[in-house]
């Protein structure tokens, strides 16, 4: 990728609004189609991982998306559903005026996130389906954090899952109450109805603690009749992740923008 540029700070929705960073697309998709991606950064639902978020924003812009990386409220100060509700508000703002962000009327709307942000992105697809708006072209999940049980083989092999694990701490802070562990928007992996969701690309990394649940979620989407492709990469470095993400954005935008209104 070229030398990184400082992203523009923007606000979404009515004042005071939500703050975000805008990374304009740096690679064409297909014809005049554009992909507008609401990106949810975050490591463990209680950590925004700002440095990694900037790297991911640049990666996704290089892959062809106009990226709006949202600074959503984090646990423990803001447990579920605060972050999710803020993300849905931001998604509605993008859907209301996509040309403002992509500079093009032929714009398909995507959601995406990494680790804890991947949890919220997956939940947004459930909310959008249930509310019947906004219409999403796809969901892009990078090593999503989806299962509070933390009992997968990849968790054990990474020596994660104990009470001092960052993911265990993140789940505890995010859920707040044990009752929230039964809410499908809080734990999309446990949702009983995963049909009718936006097409998904789920990327995970070999040896990552969240690798198994990433692949399991993609399998669950397919079992419910959804279009979901999962890949396990050696890393999420640009030389491995750029082409799969670009191809997903291009193909999903093509399908979405070919649908009749």
Burial class (CB in 10 A: 0-12, 13-18, 19+), 243: exposed
**Looking at the predicted structure, is the pLDDT value of residue 1 above 70?**
no
Do 93 and 70 form a contact (C-beta atoms < 8 A)?
Answer: no
Task: State what percent of residues in the chain have pLDDT above 90.
Answer: 76
Q: What is the pLDDT of residue 42?
A: 79
- Summarised one tens digit per residue, pLDDT across range 194-245 is 999 999 999 999 999 999 999 999 999 999 999 999 999 999 999 999 999 9
> Can you tell me the distance from the alpha carbon of 35 to that of 42, in angstroms, rounded to the nearest whole number?
21
Task: Identify the residue with better confidence: 250 or 42.
Answer: 250
Q: What is the pLDDT of residue 260?
A: 57
Least confident range from 80-84, 127-131, 138-142, 157-161: namely 157-161
Q: Measure Cα distances from 147 to 20, 44, 47, 217, 220 in Å.
A: 27, 12, 17, 9, 13
What is the dihedral sign for C-alpha 121, 125, 127, 133?
A: positive
Average pLDDT of the residues of the chain: 91
> Can you tell me the distance from the alpha carbon of 1 to that of 8, in angstroms, rounded to the nearest whole number?
18
Q: What is the pLDDT of residue 153?
A: 95
Buried b or exposed e, range 227-242, using 16+ CB within 10 angstroms: ebbbbbbeebeeeebb
Q: What is the pLDDT of residue 17?
A: 75
Backbone angles phi, psi at 146, to 5 degrees: -125, -10
Rounded to two decimals, the pTM is 0.94
Q: Measure Cα distances from 181 to 101, 155, 162, 189 in Å.
A: 35, 19, 18, 11
Which fold would CATH assign to domain 17-258?
A: Rossmann fold (3.40.50)
Res. 22 pLDDT band, cuts 50 70 90? very high
- Summarised one tens digit per residue, pLDDT across range 52-78 is 788 999 999 999 999 999 999 999 999
Angle between helices 50-62 and 238-258 (to 10 degrees): 60
- Summarised one tens digit per residue, pLDDT across range 151-185 is 999 999 988 878 788 999 999 999 988 889 999 99
Q: Where are the domains positioned within the chain?
A: 17-258
**Looking at the predicted structure, is the pLDDT value of residue 107 above 90?**
yes
Q: What is the pLDDT of residue 15?
A: 62
Q: What is the pLDDT of residue 160?
A: 84
SS (H, E, C) 106-122: CEEEEEEEECHHHHHHH
Q: What is the pLDDT of residue 94?
A: 95
The number of helix segments (H) and strand segments (E) in the chain equals 8, 8
- Summarised one tens digit per residue, pLDDT across range 111-137 is 999 999 999 999 999 999 999 999 999
């Amino acid at each position: 990728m070229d030398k990184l540029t400082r992203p523009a700070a923007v606000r979404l929705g009515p004042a005071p609004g939500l703050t975000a960073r805008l990374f304009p697309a740096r690679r064409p998709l297909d014809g005049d189609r554009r992909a507008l991606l609401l990106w949810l950064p975050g490591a463990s639902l209680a950590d925004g991982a700002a440095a990694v978020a900037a790297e991911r924003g640049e990666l996704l812009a290089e892959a062809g998306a106009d990226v709006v990386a949202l600074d959503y409220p984090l646990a423990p100060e803001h447990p579920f559903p605060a972050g999710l509700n803020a993300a849905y508000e931001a998604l509605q703002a993008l859907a209301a005026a996509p040309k403002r962000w992509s500079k093009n009327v032929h714009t398909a709307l995507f959601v995406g996130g990494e680790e804890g942000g991947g949890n919220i992105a997956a939940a947004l697809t459930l909310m959008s389906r249930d509310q019947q708006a906004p219409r999403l072209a796809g969901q892009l999940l990078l090593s999503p954090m989806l299962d509070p049980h933390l009992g997968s083989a990849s968790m054990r092999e990474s020596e994660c899952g104990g009470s001092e694990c960052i993911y265990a701490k993140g789940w505890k802070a995010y859920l707040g109450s044990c009752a929230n562990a039964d809410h499908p928007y809080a734990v999309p992996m446990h949702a009983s109805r995963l049909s009718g969701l936006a097409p998904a690309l789920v990327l995970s990394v070999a040896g990552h603690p969240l690798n198994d649940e990433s692949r399991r979620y993609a399998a669950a989407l397919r079992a419910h009749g959804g279009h979901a492709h999962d890949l396990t990469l050696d890393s999420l470095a640009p030389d491995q992740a750029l082409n799969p993400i670009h191809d997903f954005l291009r193909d999903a935008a093509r399908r979405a923008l070919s649908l009749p209104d």
